[in-house]
Amino acid sequence: MTTLSMLLMAISVASIFAESSIYFREQFEDGDAWKSRWVESKHKSDYGKFVLTAGKFYGDVEKDKGLQTSQDARFYSASSRFESVSNKDQPLVIQFTVKHEQNIDCGGGYIKLFPADLNQEEMHGDSTYIMMFGPDICGPGTKKVHVIFNYRGKNHLINKDIRCKDDEYTHLYTLIVNPDNTYEVKLDNKKVESGSLEEDWDFLPPKKIKDPDAEKPDDWDEKENIDDPEDIKPEDWDVAENIPDPDAKKPDDWDDEMDGEWEPPMVTNPDYKGEWKPKQIDNPAYKGKWVHPEIDNPDYTADPEIYQYASIGVIGLDLWQVKSGTIFDNFLITNDPKLAEEVGNETWGATKDPEKKMKDSQEEEERKKREAEETNKKEAKEDEDEDEEDEEGEEEETDSKHKDEL
């Protein structure tokens, strides 16, 4: 076992026995007091406003309160500070819930983590962040979970496509970054993606590159098949594709002086065989596809600390929405994946079913209301038609009596 492998194993074992810590937790359970913990950016004067609400349907009117975007076609920028922490030698877990109850068509539902020295009142879209995580939707083509890390001053997007939820219900998003340079993405407390930070992001140059000194030999033949040199085209092969119709006759009333010289119409030649091509045989000189040899990349250096950030201290909502209405809640930053799973079950897990039940009940009431309105309209139309028929009958009766009198 190499020294590096032993070091990684020691780090992994140490992380298992590390004490659980909660670095940040926000559930908005104390009314407007959230305004003292969250700072809205003043970088622009027209940022959209967040409001505290459980929305139009919920599982628990108090527990489901969160920050909701309230104005259409706006940028939003607000953040909350916590004591600076480093994730060195331990997992980092980011978790929160998102509810697109407006049936979002285009807008972000992600969070950003920032260094502790961020000026919150000046936070904006170009502010340097540590990582960005969460759903992003824009039309039918973009429904993804962003997982973006800042590494050595550059933002790196994950190379995999993770699909997000696009319905109107609350969903739980969890990102786990481990000290062995692995990660896991969970949606509604179920793993949807995992892997290696080095393999699933382009943080480092490739380990191998094509040998710049290697070239395919001039005589390297990559053709699997060739024309059979002994296959000769038959002498009677070349015939016209179309010929004059042998059964056509010049009409009796055809006048060559008036109509010009008569020519029979063309028909497909039954003897036409198409373009002749020699049959194919195996190429005796075939050597297979040439593969460019690779060598170790001199620019590659392994980094066992890709996962690590020295100072994490601010969580922010920095996003754009065309149609507002998204609710953010149940923020949690910890070093304990098991704790995050338990918190997820206690929060989102406890209210998701009642939330759906309330939404279903509202939709049923709306359905009954629509049906009642349609029934009332139909009955009103029938009454109107009956009144018109009665009026027509009375008019006919009056006309008949008038005629009798005359």
Annotated binding site for Ca(2+): 27, 63, 65, 329
Retrieve residue 106's tokens.
């285009």
Q: Is 336 helix (H, G, I), strand (E, B) or coil?
A: coil
Which of 181, 184, 208, 186 lies closest to 197, judged by CA? Answer: 181
Annotated binding site: 27, 63, 65, 110, 112, 129, 136, 318, 329
Q: How many CA atoms lie within 13 A of 327 on its CB side?
A: 24
Look at the chain and count its residues: 406
Sign of CA dihedral 26, 30, 36, 40: positive
Helix axes 348-405, 337-346, angle to 10 degrees: 30
What is the chain's percent helix, strand, coil content, to nearest 5? Answer: 25, 30, 45
Task: Give the Cα-Cα-Cα angle 340, 346, 349 (nearest 5 degrees).
Answer: 100
DSSP 71: S
Which of 327, 274, 294 lies closest to 52, judged by CA? Answer: 327
Annotated binding site for an alpha-D-glucoside: 110, 112, 129, 136, 318
